[in-house]
Amino acid sequence: MNLKILFIEAAKQYLLGLPSGFEKSGCTVKILTDIQEEELEKTLKEFKPDLAVTAGWTKIHTRVKLQLLHRLLKKYGVKHAYWATEDPRWREKWSLYYIETTHPDYIFTIDRDSVPYYQNLGYSAHHLTWACNPDFHKPGNKQEQYSCDIAVVATAGVTWSSYRKDSVQILLQPLLEKGYNVKIWGNRWEKVDPTIIGFDVPSKFLKQKLPYTETNDVYSTAKIVLGFQNTFTELNSRTFEVLASQGFLLTPHTPAVEELFIPKKHLVCSSSPKETLKLVDYYLTHEDERKSIAKLGQKEVYSKHTYTHRAKEILKVVSKSSG
Show me where the domains of the chain are located. 4-131+306-322, 144-304
144-304: CATH architecture: 3-Layer(aba) Sandwich (3.40)
Fold agreement between 4-131+306-322 and 144-304 = yes
Q: How confident is the model at residue 2 (pLDDT cuts 50, 70, 90)?
A: confident
Q: Round to whole Å and give the CA distance between 123 and 58.
A: 22
* CA-wise closest residue to 27 among 315, 323, 307, 320: 315
pLDDT in tens, 238-254: 999 999 999 999 999 99
pLDDT at position 91 is 95
| pLDDT(323) > 80 | no
Contact 177, 202 (CB under 8 A): no
Query: pTM to 2 decimals?
Result: 0.96
4-131+306-322: CATH architecture: 3-Layer(aba) Sandwich (3.40)
- State the average pLDDT over residues 184-198: 94
> Residues near 93 by Cβ (< 8 Å), separated by ≥ 6?
none
pLDDT in tens, 104-140: 999 999 999 999 999 999 999 999 999 999 999 999 9
* CA-wise closest residue to 256 among 273, 239, 242, 274: 239
- State the average pLDDT over residues 49-78: 97
> Residues near 322 by Cβ (< 8 Å), separated by ≥ 6?
79
Contact 64, 91 (CB under 8 A): no
